[in-house]
Amino acid sequence: MNRSSGYGKLVRDRIPQIIRGNGAEPVTYVADAEEYRDRLRDKLGEEVAEFLQADDARAPEELADVLEVLHALAADLGVDARQLEKIRQGKATERGGFANRIVWTGNR
């Protein structure tokens, strides 16, 4: 059953503890592997949207949230942060990064 389109949302591991500390009792369950991957993908979209709406002061915090989800997605795929960085570096070496601010508008 794919619940990612239904109710609830994936939250950070300590959120239930924080909710309890605020005097409420959270209702939670642990997602199976398929639902977890679906919810991580949903969470990535959510965090990217929050980054896109953030002002410059809040943007670094939102980027950190995006990075946390990326690390979780990579781990779910069996790739650790070091391996992910190696893949990123390989692509940057082969195709470049984005530091030069190049905008492509087509070919002649």
What does the domain layout of the chain look like in residue ranges?
32-95
User: In whole numbers, what is the pLDDT of the chain averaged over residues?
Assistant: 94
| CB contact at 8 A, 76 and 36 | yes
Q: How many CB atoms neighbour CB 103 within 10 A?
A: 4
Ranges 3-7, 11-15, 88-92, 98-102: which has the least confidence: 3-7
Number of residues that this document lists for the chain: 108
pTM for the complete prediction? Answer: 0.86
What confidence tens digit (pLDDT) does each residue in 35-54 have? 999 999 999 999 999 999 99
Tokens read off for 19: 């909710």
Q: Tell me the average pLDDT across 79-87.
A: 96
